[in-house]
Structures are given as structure tokens and as C-alpha cells.
Amino acid sequence: MSKKIKGFSKFTKEEKINWLAENYFNDNLKTIETIKQYWNDDKKLQQLHDDFIENTISNFYLPMGVAPNFLINGEEYAVPMVTEESSVVAAASLVAKFWSTKGGFKTTVLGTTKIGQVHFMFAGNKEELTKYFNKNKTELYAATASITKNMEKRGGGILDIKLVDKTEKLENYYQLHITFETKDSMGANFINSCLEAIAAKFRNDEIEIVMSILSNYVPECLVRAEVSCKIEDLGGENPQKFAEKFYQAVKIAEIEPYRAVTHNKGIMNGVDAVVIATGNDFRAVEAGVHAYAARSGNYTSLSHCTINNGIFKFWIDLPLALGTVGGLTALHPLAKLSLEMLQKPSAKELMQIIATAGLAQNFAALRALTTKGIQHGHMKMHLQNILNQLGATKEQKETITTYFEGQTVSHSAVVSKFEEISKAKINWVNFTDETEVRNLLSNLKTDSKPVFGKMNGQQMVEHLSLLMKVSNGKVNADFFVEDEKSARRKAFLDTENELQVGFKASMLSEEPNTLVFASIKEAIDDLVLQVTNFKNHFKITEIENHPFFGELDYSYWKKFHVKHFTHHFKQFNLV
């Protein structure tokens, strides 16, 4: 069956989600639940995000961190960074602190001009075209007067318009090459509006305009960031040897494209993280930076190093077209917060901060590569990510982290160790033993706070009772679960694995249910009653439906309840 659809953009957000869930996902309810889980509770704020792009269905979160202790031209900064890659923020923070005791980072803006082009075809005499251009050049400026008026008040505008002959590379191809100063705005809309006005004025019967568009290659919108110190101040067991290996690593990236690409990717880890945090266009920055790295005809390192007369010097030149006013920087609440964190910088100042972040990231990577290896820091963070995925407790994390100190971290090794200590330490709750259940719940209070989740103590007890009632046939849970899915999911019940944090049947609401009983004692009494009913119910019934696992017999319901009770008793540190 075809999944083509007409009028999708006219659907409401709910309709879009429902259509996607029905056509592209197996578990419709879980899909919809996941999508809506990332909606903002503030409807006005959610609408703001919905309006950023088209066909919005949800928000895709990225972590926002802060790298403190940056000293740039004598000013102290805490730098906001948005990235999903582990170690980036930690590395930037360590390097910032390292150089803050050695004079910090020094930065210089080398240029701020940006480029736009009108691309056109002309088959006539070049001299006639040149005369036509020179005659109308003043008129081309005048054609943009209404657009440039406000920009000129801020010191920006069109700096120059040149006629460029490109016919040697493409027959009849010429361009108007136009340079702009856009001050604190990135200027994309301003530049493109000017270009279209110029193209309309320049066009005649012999000139065929192909397109008018800004360029993201901005080699004259350039910033330099650098650090330097005496080699002996680099520290470590042998600072001279470290400096020499560091220098060699940079030189390799200068001459070897395979290395240069990865080298520069590390730089962009720092650059992109701040570009995104401040609401700027990281795709434009990436494109322009990599074009700059290949400007000589060979792709090469963006950073450079010297060790002369006992002085270590490390620097970077980056083309960065950025804005601090307009666009997403003025709309996204966290972008505005990031700019405020950076003390409301001008576009020039932001260029310097972001170049510094890139240089810091590069220094961190090269220091790791030339000493203990890049995997040391990466795998330390990777280990924590794996443990989070496994739902490890705080104690389990501490045990496993200690175990892997000095050892190679791999996903399979971590899972193996996690399963080993989990099997040894899981105290499964025997929910059919009334004495054990009452003893474990004896110190629980109605308002007891959970280790995870939203329920209080009594809500947790009543939640267990609710699932007992489902297994007793007292609560309707006839959600259809395909046989294939049921078989796959039931296999989990045969394992020694625990329910993961966040597991929730689709029939349950996002928020905890309203309390049914007047006291937690009454709730516990009811839970014990439901367990008794469970035993009796399956003397006359063979199957009851579970909303996630499908049809379960007594033995499988028992396995589920053991995991479920244990999961929620752990939620309140009862086992």
C-alpha cells in the first residue's frame, strides 16, 4: 500500500502524528507517547518552537552545558555549549582552566566583510558589458537604498560591487561580486534582499540573471585566536617532549588530508556547540570553515603551532559569519540566555569567543592524542552513557566505574559486568509473601519521595494494586498486542533483567493517579487483598491480557509482578 499523502502540511499537529504512527511505526501508542513526551507544558513556548520550522511534531532535545573559566583578552567567560557528544564540554572546561593561569586566550578580528553574488549569463561583447556596468554602478547602489538605510545607520551596508569575468571556466558566465558589512546581524536576509534588488536593476535584454544569493564562504570575515607560553610552563613530566609531539601532530594535519579532516572536526566540536547555543547557523559556519581549509587547493589544518626560542605558540584562523541580533538569536529563549551569559557580545566579540572554543577543543584533543590517547577521556564518558542506558543505580555506576579504571571500555564488556553485579545483587520481591510485603512497606509514608519518577509513596502502592487488578480481570486492559510483539516482549519476563526506569504501560497516564484511599495503611491492605484475589482468580481463569506484554497466563503474570514490585520498591529504596 502506498504511503504517499497529499495535504500533509495542512494537517493539525495531532493529525500528522497519528498518520505517522499508523503508517511508519509498529507500536502506535508508544510512538505517540514518545513524541508528546518532549512537548513543552507551556503551550505558548511550545507554539514558539512549532513555528520555527514546518510540519513540526515535537522537540528534539540536545544537552546544554557550560564551560567556565575562559579568559579571553583579559575578560572572564562561562561559555554555553549545546552538543550531544560526550567529552566536548569537559575538555573545553579543562583547557580553559589550564590556559587561564598562563595569560588566557588572545583574539583578533582580522575582517568582517561578507559576500553576495549575482550570477548571470552574457553572450555579447565584454567591453560593452564593462561599459554598461560602470555606467550603471551608481544606480545599482541606489536600487538598494530603502533596504540599506537602517544598516548604514549602524555603520554597515554595501562596501563594493565588482564585475567578475568567469567565462574561462564556464561559457558566457559573469557575476556581480558584492561585499557587505552587516555589523551585529548575520545578514543573510539583508544580503539576499540587496542582491535581488541589484539583479532587477542590472537585468536587460542581453543579460540573463541565473540567481542572486549570498555566499557562506567568508574568507574576509576572519578571526584569530591563540595561546602561548614558555615551554616549561606546559607542565607534565617532560614539557619539551610534549611540545615537540604536539607540534608534529599539527604539522601532520597540515600536510595529510585524511588527518586534517578529523583534526578540523575536533575544532568544530567546540565551534558548533557555541554556534548552536547562540542560535546561529552551524551549517553555514561548517560549510564556510571547510571551504577555507581547502582554499589552497589542498585540504589542511585550520590550526597551527610553533616552538621557537623556548616559546610554545598555538593559534587558529577561522572564517565566521555570525549574528547577535535578529533571526533565531532573538526568538529562541535559550539562545537569548546564552548571549546574556556571554555578557551580550557584539558579532565581533562572539567571533572571538567561538574561535577560542574551537582552539580549546583542538588543544584538548591533541594533548590527549599525544599523551594518553584520545580514548581515555572519550571512553570515560562513554561508560557513563552505557550505564545510563542500562538503568544502573548510583552504587552500580560507582562499582563498574572503579572496575574499568585502567581497563579498555567496550559496550559488551560493560553490559557483561552490569549483568554480573545485577544478578548478584537483585533482591527480587516475593509479592505473594504477605509478611515480606508488609515488612518492606512498613516505613513507607504517603508523602515519601521517590528516587525516580513522579509518584509519592501511597500512589506507588495504589499503582501496584491497579496492575494486580488488571491481572485479576477487575480492570479492563484489552489492548490488542500482536502475537509477534507479545512473543518478543514476553521473552523479557523469562530473563533476570529488571524493568528499566521509564517503563510504562500505554494505558497509564503521564501523571500519577489521584489517591483512592484515605491512608497508606488502607492502600497496603488493599494491595494484600489484590494479591490474594490474584491467586484465587487464576484457579478459574487461564489467561488475562497485559496492555504491553499481551495475553499472559498465571506463571507469566507472576514473573511480571515480581519485576514490577521490585522495580517500584527500588523506586523508594525499600530493597
265: part of which helix (H) or strand (E)? Answer: helix 257-277
**Tell me: the pLDDT tens digits for 212-225?**
999 999 999 999 99
**Active-site option among 281, 349, 462, 526:** 281
Distance CA 47, CA 55 (A): 12
Predicted local distance difference test score (pLDDT) of residue 398: 82
Whose CA is closest to 338, among 278, 410, 418?
Answer: 278
Mean pLDDT of 171-183: 97
The DSSP letter of residue 105 is B
If one compares 446 and 396, the residue with the highest pLDDT of the two is 446
Calculate the alpha carbon distances from 14 to 5, 35, 56, 174, 506 in Å.
16, 10, 10, 49, 17
If one compares 52 and 481, the residue with the highest pLDDT of the two is 52
SS3 of 82, please? strand
Distance CA 218, CA 280 (A): 15
User: Confidence class of residue 278 from pLDDT cuts 50, 70 and 90?
Assistant: very high
Return the amino acid letter for 395: E
CA-based R_g, the chain, Å = 32
In residues, how long is the chain? 575
Q: Is the pLDDT of residue 553 over 70?
A: yes
Half-sphere exposure of 426 (CA within 13 A, CB side): 21
Residue 79 contacts residue 89 (beta carbons within 8 Å)? no
Q: Is the pLDDT of residue 226 over 80?
A: yes
Q: Is the pLDDT of residue 72 over 70?
A: yes
Beta strand segments in 370-522, E: none
Whose CA is closest to 133, among 104, 162, 168?
Answer: 162
Residue 209 contacts residue 118 (beta carbons within 8 Å)? yes
Distance CA 46, CA 155 (A): 37
Distance CA 12, CA 243 (A): 60
196 is an active site residue:
no
Predicted local distance difference test score (pLDDT) of residue 407: 72
Distance CA 221, CA 115 (A): 9
Mean pLDDT of 510-514: 84
Q: Is the pLDDT of residue 480 over 80?
A: no
**Active-site option among 102, 106, 265, 290:** 265
Predicted local distance difference test score (pLDDT) of residue 119: 98
Distance CA 561, CA 478 (A): 18
Predicted local distance difference test score (pLDDT) of residue 499: 85
Calculate the alpha carbon distances from 110 to 23, 103, 225, 259, 548 in Å.
53, 21, 11, 27, 61
User: Confidence class of residue 375 from pLDDT cuts 50, 70 and 90?
Assistant: low
Mean pLDDT of 446-465: 92
Residue 250 contacts residue 305 (beta carbons within 8 Å)? yes
Mean pLDDT of 453-479: 90
553 is an active site residue:
no
SS3 of 119, please? strand
Predicted local distance difference test score (pLDDT) of residue 425: 64
CA angle 542–545–547, rounded 5-degree value = 160
Distance CA 287, CA 289 (A): 6
Which residues lie below 8 Å from residue 41, measured CB to CB, with a gap of 6+? Answer: none
Distance CA 326, CA 324 (A): 7
pTM of the predicted model as reported, rounded to 2 decimal places: 0.69
**Active-site option among 27, 85, 233, 286:** 85
Query: Grid coordinates representing 62?
Result: 540536545
Distance CA 321, CA 285 (A): 7
Which residues lie below 8 Å from residue 91, measured CB to CB, with a gap of 6+? Answer: 360, 361, 364, 365, 368, 377
As a 3-state breakdown, the chain gives helix, strand, coil percent values, each rounded to 5, of: 50, 15, 35
**Active-site option among 16, 183, 263, 378:** 378
Residue 181 contacts residue 159 (beta carbons within 8 Å)? yes
Distance CA 140, CA 138 (A): 5
Residue by residue, DSSP assigns 152-194 as HHTT-EEEEEEEEE-TTTSTTEEEEEEEEE-TTB--HHHHHHH
Burial of residue 155 (CB within 10 Å: 0-12, 13-18, 19+) is exposed
Distance CA 23, CA 68 (A): 46
Predicted local distance difference test score (pLDDT) of residue 424: 57
Distance CA 378, CA 386 (A): 12
Which residues lie below 8 Å from residue 51, measured CB to CB, with a gap of 6+? Answer: none
Query: Grid coordinates representing 326?
Result: 535578529
Residue 229 contacts residue 312 (beta carbons within 8 Å)? yes
265 is an active site residue:
yes
Residue 63 contacts residue 80 (beta carbons within 8 Å)? no
If one compares 408 and 173, the residue with the highest pLDDT of the two is 173
Burial of residue 100 (CB within 10 Å: 0-12, 13-18, 19+) is middle
Strand partners, 312: 229, 307
Query: Grid coordinates representing 186?
Result: 548575520
Residue 266 contacts residue 365 (beta carbons within 8 Å)? yes
Query: Grid coordinates representing 348?
Result: 565581533
Residue 69 contacts residue 96 (beta carbons within 8 Å)? yes
Residue 89 contacts residue 65 (beta carbons within 8 Å)? yes
Predicted local distance difference test score (pLDDT) of residue 421: 77
Return the amino acid letter for 94: L
Predicted local distance difference test score (pLDDT) of residue 488: 81
Q: Is the pLDDT of residue 378 over 70?
A: no
CA dihedral angle for residue 217, residue 219, residue 223, residue 229, rounded to 10 degrees: 120
395 is an active site residue:
no
User: Confidence class of residue 508 from pLDDT cuts 50, 70 and 90?
Assistant: low
Mean pLDDT of 100-129: 97
Give the rounded percent of residues in the chain with a pLDDT score beyond 90. Answer: 77
